[in-house]
Amino acid sequence: MLTVRGLTKTYATADGSYQALKGIDFDVPQGGFYTLLGESGCGKSTTLRCVAGLEEPDGGSISIGGHVVADVERGAHVPTFERDIGLVFQSYAIWPHMDVFANVAYPLRVQRPRVAAADIKARVMDALRLVGMESYATRPATKLSGGQQQRVAFARALVRRPKLLLLDEPLSNLDAKLREQMRFELQELIARTGVTTLYVTHDQSEALAMSDTVAVMSAGRIVQSGAPREVYGRPVDRTVANFLGSANILRGKVVDAQGGLTEVALDGGASTVQVPSRAILSRGAPVDVIFRPEDATTHLDPVDGAIECAVERIVFQGGMSECQLRLGPILLRTVVHPVMGARPGDRAWVAIQPERCILFAA
């Protein structure tokens, strides 16, 4: 449905130039939900704007639904208004001089050949019903709350049934509670319309919860892409591991490696763990063992093969608590049930599930 190949983009700045995109490739299948995830300045928004035609790439090609909309080598650049897209902005960009109906009707009213007025009315009301705003049709745009503006922006993006829906951080201007609610509504909406979606966000929980495919971007490149569980469970490097959820990092040295299992002696000499690893590492090589807080259990009594540490603090978070543990210079984080009666300074033993650990050469 959406195919992006070798996309590059360089901006001229006061001190030279800045390469925002260093070669982006990805495909989104028909009806897929593809998320570009990354921190500010990683190039995710620039990618989306290239797909929308709001920025012209310096290299590469983009095609939407089989139509080439940008191909730098062949000098092709289809302007935004001729691309079959719907776009929701971070600031919503609801036109202040129009009411809700006029905002949503706009894509139909500028369509050629003309759409009959009766059709426009019916389709706008359909779109408004889809987002639960049908009773606000005559409301001036300036009298809408943030959440309402957002719904109108969705209705406007979907009203002409585009092939591709582009969402540029659409939830980031909402407060936490509304954001969560809108996330579910949005997911349901997209599922119902079946529209192919490209989603840009810096919020990992949004990305993990909503997408079919997540692409983690960093410094103008896609570092890793795949299903959310795969990217979360098998990050390709520390950056991705750290960016998606919190990760505990233990230092160690390879003791033995055979049959896809690597034995690592953790620094401090306390214990060894056997970790599955893809790479072949030589004996004695320094490595990082990474595990997620939820992949370890915390005990107040000695446990075989567990790592002994000291409780630093317990952070009560309602349904669960985060337990922070001191291991020499390292602070580990684990998840515990809130009833666990540990206090700062207590001894504690952290048992890791080795098969869920990830190994990187340090």
Partner 1 sequence: MAVQADQAPVVDVARRKRRRGQLGLAGSIVVAGAAAAAIYLVMAPLLALLATAFRGPSDLLPFEPGAHWTFDNLIDVYVNTPLVSSVLPNTAIFVAGSVTVTFLTAFTLAWLVERTDLPWRTTLFTAILFPLLVPGVVMAFAWTLLFAPNAGWINVMLRGVLGLGSPGPINIFSMPGLILCQGIASVPFVFLLLGAAMRTMNPALEEASSASGARPLTTFLRVTLPVLRPGVLAPLILATLVALEQFEMPLIIGFPARINVFSTRIYFELNPEDELPAYGKAAAVALLFLVAAVVLLAIYNNLIKRADRFVTVTGKGYRPTRYPLGRWRMPALLFVGFYLVVGAILPAVVLVWTSFSGGSNESLNLDAYRALFADRRFWPAVGNTFLVAGLSAGLITLVGALLAWQILRLRFPGRALLDVVSFMSIGIPSVIAGFAVMVLHLTIPIGLYGTVWILILAYSYRLAVSTRLSRASLMQIHAELEEASAASGGRWLDTVRRVVLPLLAPSLMASFVLLFIVGFREFTIPMVLQSEDNWVLSVIMWKLQADRQTAQAAAVGTLILLFVTPVIFVLRRQLLSRQGDS
Ranges within 172-211 binding partner 1 (CB under 8 A): 172-173, 202
46 is a contact residue toward partner 1 (CB under 8 A)? yes
- Residue number with CB closer to partner 1 (123 or 156): 156
- From the list 316, 234, 314, the residue with the least C-alpha distance to 275 is 234
53 is a contact residue toward partner 1 (CB under 8 A)? yes
- Of 24, 69, 94, 323, the one binding partner 1 (CB under 8 A) is 94
Handedness of CA 217, 222, 228, 231 (dihedral sign): negative
91 is a contact residue toward partner 1 (CB under 8 A)? yes
- Of 9, 123, 151, 156, the one binding partner 1 (CB under 8 A) is 156
DSSP 8-state code for residue 341: -
Residue pair 125/45 in contact (Cβ under 8 Å)? The answer is no
Task: Provide the H-helix boundaries in the chain.
Answer: 44-52, 100-109, 117-130, 146-158, 176-193, 204-210, 228-233, 238-243
- Of 16, 66, 73, 97, the one binding partner 1 (CB under 8 A) is 97
107 is a contact residue toward partner 1 (CB under 8 A)? yes
Residue pair 202/238 in contact (Cβ under 8 Å)? The answer is no
- Of 144, 166, 314, 357, the one binding partner 1 (CB under 8 A) is 166
- Residue number with CB closer to partner 1 (153 or 336): 153
Tokens 């960009």 sit on residue? 93
CB of 23 to partner 1, least distance (A): 18
- Cis-peptide, bond into residue 162, ω within 30° of zero: no
- From the list 144, 112, 115, 110, the residue with the least C-alpha distance to 128 is 144
- Of 9, 62, 124, 169, the one binding partner 1 (CB under 8 A) is 169
- Residue number with CB closer to partner 1 (52 or 244): 52
Q: What is the C-alpha to C-alpha distance for residues 299 and 352, in angstroms, rounded to an integer?
A: 11
144 is a contact residue toward partner 1 (CB under 8 A)? no
81 is a contact residue toward partner 1 (CB under 8 A)? yes
- Residue number with CB closer to partner 1 (177 or 343): 177
